[in-house]
Amino acid sequence: MTEDFLMRKKRVSKVLAVTLSTSLAVTYLIALVGGYSVSAEPLPLKGQTITAIQTAAVPAAPSGPVDPKEVEAFADNYFGKSLKKFNVPGAMFVVVQDGQVVLSKGYGYANKESKTPVDSNTVFRIGSISKTLTAAAVLQLADQGKIKLDQDIQSYLGGITIPNSTGKLLTLENMLTHMTGFDFPYEKDDDASPDLLNQENSLRDFLMDRMPTIVRTPGEAYQYDDYAFALAGYAVEQVTGLPFHEYMDKNIFQPLGMNSSHDLVTPELKARMAAAYDPEGTPYPEYGLYPTDMPQGGMLSTGSDMAKFMIMLLQKGKAGDRQMLSEQSVQRMSKFSVFAHPAIPITSYGFENIFNELSNGQYVVSKGGNIPGHASFTWLLPERKTGMFVIYNNDSELRSDLYAAFMDHYYPKSTEMPESVSPLTEQQAARYVGLYKDLHTPSFVTRITYNNGQLVAEDRYKLGNGKTTLKKIDPLLFMDDHGKKIAFLEQKDGGIAYMYRPSKSPIAYSPKIQEKALFSDVSKESPYQPSIEKLHSLDIINGRDGRSFDPKASVTRAEFITMLLHAVGYPPSKSKSGYTDIEHHFAFKEIQAAVEQHWLGEETGGRFEPDRTITREEMAVILTRIPLPWPLGDEVRLAGKTDESAIKAVSKLVAAGVTDPVTITNSDGSVDFRSKEPLLRQEASYFIDKILFVP
């Protein structure tokens, strides 16, 4: 097994589990303190008008991180414990306040094998914090009148056409706030790979290769969007005639004195770059990026350089005597413009609010970054002219832990008033009840039901509480059993269009799924009926013709892969396949995508046999290759015939309790999975539902 495969497999797990890993971080969030007042400034959202949140007056403001010795003592104490706690080899922490660097200090090792310490000149990959710098570049051009933020993005793409089925133009405003409406806006696992070392892949080629389609009205729904920022970087190239990295170097990095920052891995920066490690402490192999010049996540920087960038933003766009950004552009970056509800701000231009409930009532804009082996986080308190930046060389969640500790220490929560909640009638609850599918991770589905005056939210993932009641604070804002807020967004007719549940999925809205008519040949008494109905509503399965489903028909290998790919939410592949018998098959792109996700093993003779009926044991093997948080179960004894190569997979399903009505449990406790039998359409629906979706 190659190092490349190992790294990609780890990254696949990470991408698939993005919602879950975020839940792990947010599980420790404390309840949101009030501290907000409502201003009279209107902000548009989905054609409506809401009011922006402003911080309320603080009677006795905390002093904040102003004393360098005290700040260093805090950091020494924190990192002295937390590097070991999170198995982090090394970290860099920076604090700026009122135009000055209060602390810039490294902890631990940039390379633990050579014992090279981290210091303010250690180079890290800053991951998606690159998006904040890309936003600054776009706004700089807007200040100069070279770009209009509200103009059709097609004007700046040099002939690249983005498919758009909505009839509304996509703008840079939409892109810089993650409101594009793209169907597949995120990176693939192989965008960071050793295979890409010493390769040059242009930004234009990347955009053409990964071209999404605009399927939702731009400006309507929040969905974290890597592609949008790649596109924004390309607009910078087209407007200026300079490669993106060259524009950034000449117009952002050099004027700010960020001499150790770049979009490309230069030999000088590579010599100072921190090694990358996984959470277990194993080094990642050296890797390249696709595209080579990556505006959405490829930049390199240091603690001392990031201090300069933060100070510029906190000084209203000034760096010394130079006005890098207009005050209006800095306001766009530091004031939220996208809200799920007035109590839940989400994004500004280039910043976000992922840890809103850890902010202790302070007005904070923030941005995190992840790239294999490096994790980062920056947060600004613009009204206090204070900024922080942390970066370290593994994939742990030290940053959320640090953020909570820092905010509790310097901006402790004031006494909070309990939220006023009120019950719902069943009639009032009717518009909320239903299934909601996450835009970014379609396999993350929440069911909302009604019980005794309250809504009940339930999802597949038990971490962070799989089932909780929702108490109404106001008609579109609810609070769960642990004080976490959930917002609903209305359609113009008063129906519910989206849910936003930041404690479980802070990077996307979840649209409410419209129920579909039942299939005429699926009985309501069938144990498979709920799964078939659910997957049909989620657009994962379709009928054979008209209203019929043909539930007892067998499933081919290609059909099962197509169902599963749609369920997980991965886009079809655009790559050429190594299989010799699928080139002209209807499921060619889906089968190749399954190959790239490592769901398929070595097939004999380079043939996939897409139209051969798949067996139940083959299904089990494929399902258990999906990197999910599989629940632990007791040891099982299998009865009947199962191929040696499938025993582990079948046992895993049975141990996890994922069995269907035709699975036989014998009197001696052994289980006959009926492994060799063909998989039927109703069974395929059942297993996909039970593994991926709401119980």
379-418 pLDDT per residue, tens: 999 999 999 999 999 999 999 999 999 999 999 988 767 7
Confidence band for 576, pLDDT divided at 50, 70 and 90:
confident
How many whole angstroms separate alpha carbon 369 and alpha carbon 463?
Answer: 23
Confidence band for 602, pLDDT divided at 50, 70 and 90:
low
CB 23 within 8 Å of CB 30: no
Give the pLDDT confidence score for residue 457 in this predicted structure.
96
Tokens of 153: 């993005």
Confidence band for 605, pLDDT divided at 50, 70 and 90:
low
Q: Mean per-residue pLDDT for 97-126?
A: 97
The amino acid present at 567, given as its one-letter code, is: A
- For 21-60, write each residue's pLDDT tens digit: 232 222 222 222 222 222 223 223 333 333 333 333 333 4
CB 147 within 8 Å of CB 239: yes
How many whole angstroms separate alpha carbon 136 and alpha carbon 600?
Answer: 43
Higher pLDDT, 438 or 465: 438
How many whole angstroms separate alpha carbon 325 and alpha carbon 140?
Answer: 6
CB 585 within 8 Å of CB 610: yes
Q: Mean per-residue pLDDT for 611-638?
A: 87
Q: Mean per-residue pLDDT for 166-194?
A: 91
How many whole angstroms separate alpha carbon 13 and alpha carbon 189?
Answer: 9
Dihedral angle computed from the Cα positions of residues 320, 322, 327 and 332, in that order, rounded to the nearest 10 degrees: -100
Give the pLDDT confidence score for residue 61 in this predicted structure.
42
Nearest CA to 506 out of 27, 143, 184, 1 is that of 27
- For 407-462, write each residue's pLDDT tens digit: 999 999 887 677 889 999 999 999 999 999 999 999 899 999 999 999 999 998 65
SS3 496: strand
Contacts for 120 with CB less than 8 Å, ≥ 6 apart: 92, 94, 104, 105, 106, 302, 303, 304
Indicate the range of 52-66, 541-555, 562-576 predicted with least confidence.
52-66
How many whole angstroms separate alpha carbon 519 and alpha carbon 590?
Answer: 25
Whether 10 shows a pLDDT value over 70: the answer reads: no
Give the pLDDT confidence score for residue 574 in this predicted structure.
83
CB 663 within 8 Å of CB 656: no
Place of tokens 């991770």: 441
CB atoms within 10 A of CB 424: 19
Beta bridge partners, 500, equal: 487
Give the pLDDT confidence score for residue 36 in this predicted structure.
24
Contacts for 266 with CB less than 8 Å, ≥ 6 apart: none
Confidence band for 186, pLDDT divided at 50, 70 and 90:
confident
How many whole angstroms separate alpha carbon 458 and alpha carbon 473?
Answer: 19
CB 275 within 8 Å of CB 393: yes
Name the DSSP letter for residue 252: I
First CA to last CA across the chain, in angstroms? 36
**Phi, psi of 208, deg, nearest 5:** -70, -40
Place of tokens 């390769």: 199
Place of tokens 């840890």: 355
How many whole angstroms separate alpha carbon 35 and alpha carbon 54?
Answer: 9
Whether 5 shows a pLDDT value over 70: the answer reads: no
CA distances (Å), origin 54, targets 35, 486, 659, 686? 9, 20, 52, 48
Give the pLDDT confidence score for residue 51 in this predicted structure.
32
- Average pLDDT taken over every residue of the chain: 88
Contacts for 292 with CB less than 8 Å, ≥ 6 apart: 196, 199, 200, 201, 202, 264, 298
Whether 349 shows a pLDDT value over 80: the answer reads: yes
Confidence band for 137, pLDDT divided at 50, 70 and 90:
very high
CB 408 within 8 Å of CB 384: no
Give the pLDDT confidence score for residue 9 in this predicted structure.
38
Whether 255 shows a pLDDT value over 50: the answer reads: yes
Q: Mean per-residue pLDDT for 507-529?
A: 94
